[in-house]
Amino acid sequence: MPIYEYICDDCNNQFELLVFGSDMPECPECKSGNIKKLMSACSFKSNSSNPGEAPKTSASSSACSGCSATSCASCSSG
């Protein structure tokens, strides 16, 4: 039961949904089925061999100033 990110082509609403099996998701704002699945940014923490060093995330070096993702629908990077 994964959570997917979507954007509605009719009202431009961006949202996440928990999808069960063969459910056909719809926009929670306008109830349209005219939606697209977005590519989610993957982020993980790596354990540093140096205990004093801060953990690094996979998106930190190329992130926009508004979030930690490397690209997203709300900014122009990516």
| Across 47-52, average pLDDT | 64
pLDDT in tens, 1-13: 688 899 999 999 9
What is the Rg, in whole angstroms, of the alpha carbon atoms belonging to the chain? 16
* Percentage of the chain exceeding pLDDT 90: 35
Q: Where are the domains of the chain?
A: 1-41
Q: What CA–CA distances, in Å, run from 29 to 9, 12, 47, 69?
A: 12, 10, 40, 24
What is the architecture of the domain spanning 1-41? Single Sheet (2.20)
What pLDDT is recorded for position 20? 87
Q: Nearest 5 degrees, angle CA 38-CA 29-CA 42?
A: 25
